[in-house]
Amino acid sequence: MRAYRRIAAGLFFVLTQGASTAVLAQSADDPDKSQYTLFNPVPDDQMRDFNTDRPPKANSPFTVDAGHFQYETDMVNFADQWSGTAPGYTVLAPNPTLKFGLTNNVDLEVNIAPIVGVHAFNSTTDAWSTTWGFGDLFVRTKVNLWGNDGGTSAMALIPYVKAPTAPPGIGNGAIEGGVIAPLSINLPNSFSLLFNSEIDVLKDSADDGRHANFINLATLGHPLVKDVTLYVELWSDYNNDPTRRDTQYSFDTAITWLVRPNLQLDFGADFGLNSATPNAQVFAGVSQRF
């Protein structure tokens, strides 16, 4: 319980410090769109360039314009792991995230995968099993702190909570949550650099206690040709579960094609760099804004 309080205090510190930074970072050159809300949409000619949280693992700091709707989804996502303590594979098809612009700097995001398949080896029975069902429900709020409408950098905070809607074998049946802090920086020659730091409060695997999970990543993006962008990413995840601490690393690649100003297609592949990480994950997806 004491560890849980320390984690909660850490989350509170991140949120409050980020809010203070946002006040200091406001630019007088940013357009004033504070009058727009969910029920008073931003006019089309004042909307930001289309921006998504996919296809890399990184989240962007940019929110959906107030009064507008956006979906981002895997059409198919396949993860393969044939090493480590739990060999098998996972399939998601699809995996939609629905986003609603609440104000100029805040949006609401809901994610659940309606079809999840897990094929895994049971070390107790020495047999393979396959489980199909819904995934867990994630509800997030993205709060942009600065840079939503221009500038050389942008940052946001994304607190989230997970509701245990997945059946056993897919989910762990626990309410969990955390906060993500994405920071985007524009570099010379059309390069972009995106950092994400994340702290999660997760259920212990052996009991109902809670522990911290830490994710960090860096994503580099650059346009290949007009409307086609390549991303490369380094990702790490340290899970401080008392009974099975482990660290995962991956090298991720992805390409996006902006078909129209509000429609994007993507595909990519992630490659595990140690035995604790899925060997490979391949996916293809689509995103659209209305």
- Give the domain range for residue 183: 2-289
pLDDT at 89: 87
Please give the pLDDT value at position 121: 76
Token digits of residue 240: 């401080």
Q: Give me the average pLDDT of each 10-residue run along the chain (290 residues).
A: 43 42 48 92 96 96 98 96 71 96 98 94 76 96 96 97 95 97 97 98 95 98 97 98 94 98 98 92 98
Report in angstroms the alpha-carbon separations of 210 from 32, 82, 166, 213.
42, 28, 19, 10
pTM for this model (two decimals): 0.87
Give me the pLDDT at residue 10, please.
Answer: 45
Q: What is the CATH number of the domain that holds 225?
A: 2.40.160.40
Helix (H) or strand (E) segment spanning residue 158 = strand 153-163
Give φ, ψ of 163 to 5 degrees. -95, 135
Q: Give the total number of structural domains in the chain.
A: 1
9: three-class secondary structure by DSSP? helix
Q: Do the beta carbons of residue 268 and residue 221 sit within 8 Å?
A: no
CA-to-CA distance for 290 and 32, rounded, in angstroms?
A: 22
- Provide the pLDDT for residue 16: 39
